[in-house]
Amino acid sequence: MNHVLVPHFCRKGLLGLTAGLAICLATATPVFAEDSNLPSLGGVGGGLISEQQEAAIGQQVLQSIRRSTPEIGDPLVLDYLSTLVHRLVPYAQLQNRDLKMVVIDSDEINAFAVPGGVIGVNGGLFLNAKTEQEFASVMAHELGHLVQRHFARRMERQEQNAPLAMAGMLAGIILSAVTKSDVGIATIAGSQAAAVQNMLQYSRANEREADRVGLDMLEAAGFDPEGMPEMFEIMMRQSRLQGGEALEYLQTHPLTENRIADTRNRANQYPQREYDDSLEYHLVRARIMVHYAQTPEKAVEMFQEYVGRKDALPPPSARYGLAVAKLAADDAPGAEKILKDLLKDYPGRITFQVTLAETLTREKKTDEAIALMDEALRRNPGNYPIRYQLGDSLYAGNHAQRAAEVYGKLANDYPEKAYIWLKLSDAEGQARNIVGVHRARAEYYLLMGDQEAAIRQLREAQNKAPPGTPTHEIVTQRLSQITRAMHEDQQ
């Protein structure tokens, strides 16, 4: 099986950052747009922090997130987030549009965008944004920070401290992005702490810039600009309910009543029209609501009430949430009935099909689940959630070789998703392809930042692959590439 070679990552920890910046590169395609009143930021290499260095920082952030915080890997959630963000991207003056999405498993409101095109969101944002317009406004605001390169600009103003302080700054932003801001700061000793605190807290001018860019993006992409002040008001109310303690998001994004009023005034200046949420947003939100329910049984009770009330959630999402809750509560037959009824009303709806296949797989009806996903894939070639669930159903049904093929193609298409490499490794093991097991595990360890473990896995694969075969040659080349990169990183 031919795997795409993923970029190697900087070695464990932050000591190799300076060397890593010269190694972990990403291609940026310049995009030209009409002039605006916002400041010009220059192009690649136009300041202390180049686009290539930003890409390296982004890779380091992803590596740290994988190692230090739980993520939500739900393919339906990730696919929705990617679709929404890429609906906004054509209206963002981004030089690097190769964005990576991360969903942090936390019920607090938070979202972040860091150099290298990393977009992160906590599951809690889905919980608290009751409309798609509100949710999209946060994503647009974060893209605004990337468009204006706020983080890079702040680092450039710290030039007198670079590159010595760069590793500390990076450590702070990684930990603050995925936990609490004070945790990130607490890890940095001495005089660097103040510098990092300054780096993490966007100024009011930065926030106004990101608001303006985000509002333009929202309107151009067909979202309601009013969603931004509405979401800010939700955050302000939540902060007050917590006794004045700033929400995780507000610790790095200062919010004032004046700023809310300003965004509302700006939103009112756009042409008035009707805006409708997509059904998909509310289906994904229902999945998140089940995920964070106190117990699956409580989730069943909650959605049963929503179905009965008819006005709490859009009707299909209430019924769908009940099905997801029943599946979580081990009532797969109950979930199956609801999902099949939903598919009668919404034939071909991918989210309902994927969840039904998940349910059938749980009931050990794997042949039915596989047939359902095969048909769905014929109608929707390349769809990520369908392919992911097909792999899971094949693996559960002991169709190991085909499961490995599905996971292998997914790993080729989404090489940054570490958990897919683990699934591929398991499927290769079930298929008794030991060389494939070691190759997949090597890629997983690379994504986790452990190059030495990756090299050990590839040496095992090299020893087990027959000499002179294409597989042996591919493994040898990959081993040489990673070994060379590790040596460069240590210099």
For every one of its 491 residues, what pLDDT tens digit does the chain have, with 9 covering 90 and above?
Answer: 333 333 222 323 322 322 232 223 222 332 223 333 443 333 333 455 677 777 777 888 888 888 888 899 999 999 999 999 999 999 988 877 789 999 999 998 888 888 788 888 999 999 999 999 999 999 999 899 888 775 666 666 555 444 434 544 554 555 555 554 443 333 334 434 444 445 445 566 778 888 999 999 999 999 999 999 999 899 888 877 766 555 555 555 667 788 899 999 999 999 999 999 999 999 999 999 999 999 999 999 999 999 988 788 888 999 999 999 999 999 999 999 999 999 999 999 999 999 999 999 999 999 999 999 999 999 999 999 999 999 999 999 999 999 999 999 999 999 999 999 999 999 999 999 999 999 999 999 999 989 999 999 999 999 999 999 999 999 999 999 999 988 877 76
Q: Which amino acid is at 351?
A: T
Predicted structure pTM score: 0.83
Both tokens assigned to 34 = 């009409």
DSSP-based three-state secondary structure for 284: helix
Binding residues: 141, 145, 207
Q: Which of 298, 322, 296, 297 is nearest to 309 (CA)?
A: 322
Both tokens assigned to 334 = 């109950």
Q: In angstroms, how far is CA 50 from the centroid of its own chain?
A: 23
Q: Which of 95, 205, 211, 199 is nearest to 142 (CA)?
A: 211
Q: In angstroms, how far is CA 126 from the centroid of its own chain?
A: 13
Note every long-range contact of 460-469, with CB atoms under 8 Å and residues 24 or more positions apart, other chains counting: 461/435, 464/434, 464/435, 464/438, 465/435
d(CA 92, CA 240): 33
Strand 100-104 with 118-122, pairing: parallel
Binding residues for Zn(2+): 141, 145, 207
How many CB atoms lie under 10 A from the CB of residue 445? Answer: 22
179-208 b/e (C-beta count within 10 Å ≥ 16 → b): bebeebbebbeeebbebbbebbbbeeebbb
d(CA 463, CA 416): 27
Both tokens assigned to 420 = 């897919």
Give the active site residues.
142, 211
d(CA 246, CA 276): 31
Q: Which residues does residue 111 pair with via DSSP β-bridges, in sequence order? A: 121
- Is the Cα dihedral 117, 351, 105, 208 positive or negative? positive
